[in-house]
Chains A and B, each alone.
Chain A
Amino acid sequence: MKKRIIVACGGAVATSTVAANKIVELCKKEGIDVEIVQCRVSEISANLQNVSLIVTTARVSKDYGIPLENGMAFVSGIGMEAASQRILAHLR
């Protein structure tokens, strides 16, 4: 079954695009079927239906009741491997 992942940043243009691309590549390599919902942080609450994971490049303190991971590692390149493993652990 396709897993839906929200990838959000401030304006849904720059950092979330970088992170979303990396996540798609990663999941393709691991054979996990994913669908990305890219949006602004202020739009996360409106997109929560059937979502398995939220990845944000912002530091979000709010609890949405769905696992949330920080995706800044995909933008900075620092700790990318660890972040990939954490995200995969949620999807498997």
Chain B
Amino acid sequence: MEQKRLSASSQWPSIRAITGGRIIDPKSGFDGIGTVWINGERIERIEPGTGGSIPSGADVLDARGMIVAPGFIDLHVHLREPGREDEETVETGSAAGVRGGFTSVCCMPNTEPAIADQGTVRFVLDRALTAPGRVFPIGAITRDRKGETLAEISEMVIAGAVAFSDDGSPVVNAGLLRRAMEYARMFDVPIVSHCEMMDLSRDGVMNEGLVSAKLGLRGIPAISEEICISRDIALARMSGARLHICHVSTAGAVEIIRAAKAEGVRVTAEVTPHHLTLTDDLIAREFDPLYKVNPPLRTQRDVDALRRALVDGTIDCIATDHAPHAWQEKDGEFDQAAFGMVGLETALGVCHRAMIESGLMGWPELVDCLTRRPAKVFGLPLGSLEPGAQADIACLDPDSEWTVTLDTLHSRSKNSPFFGWTLKGTVRSTLVGGRLVHENGHSGMPGRTQGSTFASHPAGV
């Protein structure tokens, strides 16, 4: 699990201490003002209070007024490399991640070719050596993600894959998924399910409901997701495998997962920032493909249920499903456009609005959903500020606001549904392994992290 980081990481300065901030470490339960001392790559200790010797110097970050949290962990991103480097690469995606406070991202295998053998896993890890953050590949369950035969799971585990998924599509063949779960259990790696019954959602482009009926767009019914979740939970119950449900989007799915957890099935679940905030009626405004995503944006009732499920722990963590797309794939007819939204850079502010501004959570709980809880789902030894832990740290300005525009996003693709939103909560600096990989002085987010420039977005957003 330890990741080699290239000597190139020396391009980023080492940090010795972060002083004066409100330190939130969900794992130890610490929440108070203090200094985080770092020794090399690791946390040395947390020194509570403002007393004692206040260090200063070039390798000391003044975090007064900030929240100092473990770096965020995103279990679900698409980095598009290999194959669609015009949309994102391991490096640009990781850079977008650290700008958003994510020091670790787990990348899905729906690349071209798919991450479905040890060579491709090693390729992604190799590409990650120059990235500012940590990258954990998720291997495909089936060869080439075709859903026909098992991929070489063991070899990919050895190469460094942390979980297995055919994300983007479900494993349609239940018999094959059963074998995959039984097999994955030998290595105790999670099977990560994109749950959708293709017979029910085929050709659908948005949530099935009043809005789709009004717009004449083909619907994806909630039950398409719910039946598949039920099926996969039944298989997990039988096989004893660890099952992680991707991007839960419906109130009904929450109830199914809640019941399975109560029963003791080894199931975990994630929710995206966009499913915590957006609803299908946004599509009615002008059929903007920026709102097209799978699973689709649902209704306010679903949004409310997802928020509550995150609070009560039925949903384990937040994951972005960061899905970069070239503008031409999002610039045209709604039903022809690609599914997916970028999310790494907006996640914090959007989740702040969904969970903190709504009064459902405080900062410690939200930080927990982005750090300790996702780390636990995949068993990553990250997400805490305990002595000896990797010094992966996000310093957040909880009160500073920024507005999402083309210029403030640095992912290579700009397909965000949040243009024009003013978000509260800015990532001031990000440390990975004790090195300052991202820092910005202003809320406008011009930062040290390199990001691609994106000429002009013809949608004129």
Is A bound to B? no
> Which chain A residues have a beta carbon within 8 Å of chain B's beta carbons?
none
> Which chain B residues have a beta carbon within 8 Å of chain A's beta carbons?
none
